[in-house]
Amino acid sequence: MISTPVLLAVLGSALLHAGWNFLVKASGERLLDTATLALGGSLLAAFLLPWVSLPASASLPWLAISVLIHVAYFVALIETYRHADLSVAYPLMRGLAPVFVLLALSMSDGSPTLSFVGGVALLCTGVTLPALLGLQRGIVIGKGIYWALLNALIIASYTVVDGVGVRLSGNPWSYTLWLFFLDAWGILAIAAWRRPGHLVTHLRRRWRFGVVGAVATVGSYGVVLWAMSVAPVAAVAAIRETSVIFAALLGTRYLGEKMGGVRVASALLVAAGAVTIRFSG
């Protein structure tokens, strides 16, 4: 059973996660703004690191691999939002990533349950319906779908890597903060390379944006970690999937993305599928 304060906190976490993705999509300088968001999270993590112990040495190779995967994640995220709407891309990325992980786990553990198959069917219907209708009507382009699917695989990859790394670290908070601290520097290097002479000026001008992004990214993940320590993990993870609904609402309401009703309804299917999967055993 989840208490009302925990429920509201997790819903707030979901909104924060959808919110920082909305900021990247709405940005006119996605590469530079993504680097600014990442730097803000890195600096906030650096402020908190002195209060935690170092992660166990066994987790360090996994941390290094995760940092490299996160560089690919940022690049793919920028390309996704360059070619696809938020209300299409976000459910594809966030919805399919856990499906990839869970399908792999279910195959290794034995035959999936009927409720698991039903949840996957609901989720896949929700993420593919707006994409297919958008392609048919010329609203969505295939390149955006390609990048969203690629990023779903990347998210699934760092989910598995971080799952191992956190268990080996002996301190989930330490592992998470070191990850936030380190994963900004790759995208900063790419931004400096692609936009020489612009990065420092952009950081000075958009530092407030970086602060907001740091609160949204680190705060979103921190709230989920806290909630999982005081409430059932499956329930927290399922409620967190409401982020796809928030993303659909933000995209259709504030970015003027078309087929708003279809996309919001599809996001509801994604959330329902995710909840079914989480409680499928």
Measured over the CA atoms of residue 113, residue 14, residue 242 and residue 124, the dihedral's sign is: negative
Residue with tokens 């010329």: 138
Residue with tokens 């998210």: 155
Mention every residue, 6+ apart, whose C-beta is less than 8 A from residue 234.
278, 279
- The pLDDT tens digits for 42-100 are 999 999 999 999 999 999 999 999 999 999 999 999 999 999 888 888 888 887 777 77
Instruction: Tell me: pLDDT of 281 over 60.
Output: no
Residue 200 CA to residue 196 CA, distance in Å, equals 9
- The pLDDT tens digits for 9-19 are 888 988 998 99
Amino acid 7: pLDDT = 81
Q: Which of 59-73, 144-158, 209-223 has the highest mean pLDDT?
A: 59-73
Residue 17 CA to residue 5 CA, distance in Å, equals 18
Q: What are φ and ψ of residue 186, in 5° steps?
A: -65, -45
Instruction: Tell me: pLDDT of 256 over 90.
Output: no
**Lowest mean pLDDT: which of 104-108, 181-185, 198-202?**
104-108
Q: Which of 67-76, 89-98, 169-178, 260-269 has the highest mean pLDDT?
A: 67-76
Provide DSSP, 227-241: HHHHS-HHHHHHHHT
Provide DSSP, 89-119: HHHHHHHHHHHHHHHHHHHHHSSPPHHHHHH
User: What is the C-alpha end-to-end distance of the chain, expressed in Å?
Assistant: 17
Q: What are φ and ψ of residue 53, in 5° steps?
A: -80, 165
**219 alpha-carbon distance from chain centroid:** 13
Contact 231, 3 (CB under 8 A): yes
Instruction: Tell me: pLDDT of 107 over 70.
Output: no
Residue 171's pLDDT band, with cuts at 50, 70 and 90, is: confident
Q: Count CB neighbours of 227 within 10 A.
A: 23
147 vs 256: which has the higher pLDDT = 147
Amino acid 77: pLDDT = 94
267 vs 143: which has the higher pLDDT = 143
261 vs 184: which has the higher pLDDT = 184
Mention every residue, 6+ apart, whose C-beta is less than 8 A from residue 175.
55, 59, 63, 162, 165, 166, 169
Region 121-143 average pLDDT: 74
Amino acid 194: pLDDT = 92
Instruction: Tell me: pLDDT of 4 over 70.
Output: yes
Residue 249 CA to residue 135 CA, distance in Å, equals 20
Instruction: Tell me: pLDDT of 108 over 60.
Output: no
Amino acid 136: pLDDT = 67
Residue 2's pLDDT band, with cuts at 50, 70 and 90, is: low
Instruction: Tell me: pLDDT of 176 over 60.
Output: yes
Region 210-235 average pLDDT: 79
Instruction: Tell me: pLDDT of 26 over 60.
Output: yes
Long-range pairs for 259-268: beta carbons < 8 A, 24 or more residues apart: 259/130, 259/133, 259/134, 259/137, 259/139, 260/87, 262/129, 262/130, 262/133, 263/85, 263/87, 263/88, 263/130, 264/87, 266/91, 266/125, 266/126, 266/127, 266/129, 266/130, 267/87, 267/91, 267/126, 268/126
